[in-house]
Amino acid sequence: MIASVHLADVGVRSALALNRKAPPPGSIRGLRHANIALAAPLGGSVLPTPQFSRVGLIAFWEDDDAIDGFLSSHPLAGKLASGWHARLEPLRAHGTWPGLPTDLPKQRAVEHEGPVAALTLGRPRVSQFIRFLRTSAKAEANVVAAPGLTWASGFGHPPSLVATCSLWESTRALSTYAYGTREPAHPDAIASGDARPFHHEQAFIRFRPYASQGHLDGKNPLAETWMSPVQ
């Protein structure tokens, strides 16, 4: 399995229309699972303000040929073509999510040199949603200033999805934010969720980003620190 994350500014009307329904598994050759959501900046607000004109697709695929086929011919890919996308190889995962293999490494320490990407995915429990927002806001307030963060965005399609995607210069930078004790908001959020789950289903996945194309706000989020210039 490999993953792709796509973001594009398509206008409010188009973003809301695309946000209605993600393509189901099997509707595109090699598609294991997909979620579509509106993007939202991270910053510590309990009620993040959606970017109503920016839509995101998070998809799990069988292989690169499946992504190539999607990009070359599918109408959804055409609507997202003006934005940015990255391809991601999973390194480890905690939790479960449709389309995610169950045999990925689960331990926190996984050998890898170079930039990493992280996806957090959750299907909120309605009864815990306000508690989740309050707890998450504290962690998000720290992530925007975390050393080694390259780029991050939230995604939302309540009540079926809350998610984040972040890009980091190294595994060490990501792990320091996620598990370090100097700024404990994120470790505290993990402990709070373990004690009383926020979600019906959730996954935390670390990836190796290995391809990136396009731009957001005039640049490729990976280009300045690792990838080749914007294509």
CATH number of the CATH domain containing 49? 3.30.70.100
**Is residue 179 within 8 Å of 108, Cβ to Cβ?**
yes
28-to-33, 38, 100, 178, 228 alpha-carbon distances in Å: 10, 21, 17, 34, 29
Whether residue 62 is contained in a domain is answered as yes
Whether residue 160 is contained in a domain is answered as yes
Q: How many domains does the chain have?
A: 1
Whether residue 164 is contained in a domain is answered as yes
Q: Does the structure show a pLDDT above 60 at 61?
A: yes
Instruction: Report the pLDDT averaged over residues 132-149.
Output: 78
Whether residue 29 is contained in a domain is answered as yes
Average pLDDT value over all residues in the chain: 87
pTM: 0.89
Q: pLDDT tens across 13-34, in order?
A: 999 999 999 999 999 999 999 9
Task: Note down the domain range covering 62.
Answer: 2-214
Whether residue 225 is contained in a domain is answered as no
The pLDDT value recorded for residue 230 is 36
Whether residue 205 is contained in a domain is answered as yes
Q: Does the structure show a pLDDT above 70 at 188?
A: no
Whether residue 123 is contained in a domain is answered as yes
The residue with tokens 């959501």 is 37
**Is residue 204 within 8 Å of 189, Cβ to Cβ?**
no
Instruction: Report the pLDDT averaged over residues 35-45.
Output: 87
Helices 185-195 + 129-143 axis angle, to 10: 160
Whether residue 231 is contained in a domain is answered as no
**Who has greater pLDDT, 230 or 162?**
162
Query: How far apart, in whole angstroms, are the C-alpha atoms of residue 201 and residue 121?
Result: 8
Instruction: Report the pLDDT averaged over residues 151-179.
Output: 89
**Could you tell me which of 60, 26, 53 has the C-alpha nearest to residue 207?**
60
